[in-house]
């Protein structure tokens, strides 16, 4: 008989552990932006910042670590300037493309 695994016994999945390069971060953020949910973008930037190190990203973006956590928590609505500064600190930039069809 097959041994069943309990959900509680499964390891936690942390997406930040899989964002190893600027390309990974750029692809992830592009997919999130395609969904069109601004608060989800803030959350995704938080995951990417966690992958790089919140303190390092905050310093590079010119904001405090606490302010970064607050701005990028789920359901947050950070200012565009904050989003842009965090993107630059992560080594990516926002890009506009024509909408298909």
Task: Tell me 21's DSSP state.
Answer: S
Q: What is the mean pLDDT of residues 22-32?
A: 94
State the pLDDT confidence band at 75, using cuts at 50, 70 and 90: confident
State the pLDDT confidence band at 101, using cuts at 50, 70 and 90: low
Q: How far apart are CA 84 and CA 64, in angstroms?
A: 15
State the pLDDT confidence band at 1, using cuts at 50, 70 and 90: low
Q: How far apart are CA 72 and CA 77, in angstroms?
A: 8
Measure Cα distances from 68 to 10, 13, 97 in Å: 30, 22, 27
> Which pTM does this prediction carry?
0.82
Nearest CA to 38 out of 76, 73, 70, 68 is that of: 76
């Amino acid at each position: 008989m097959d041994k069943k695994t309990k959900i509680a016994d499964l390891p936690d999945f942390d997406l930040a552990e899989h964002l190893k390069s600027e390309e990974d971060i750029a692809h992830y953020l592009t997919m999130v932006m395609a969904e069109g949910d601004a608060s989800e973008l803030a959350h995704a930037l938080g995951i990417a910042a966690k992958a790089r190190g919140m303190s390092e990203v905050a310093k590079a973006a010119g904001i405090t670590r606490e302010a970064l956590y607050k701005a990028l928590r789920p359901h947050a609505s950070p200012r565009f300037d904050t989003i842009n500064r965090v993107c630059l600190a992560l080594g990516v930039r926002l890009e506009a493309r024509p909408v298909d069809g």
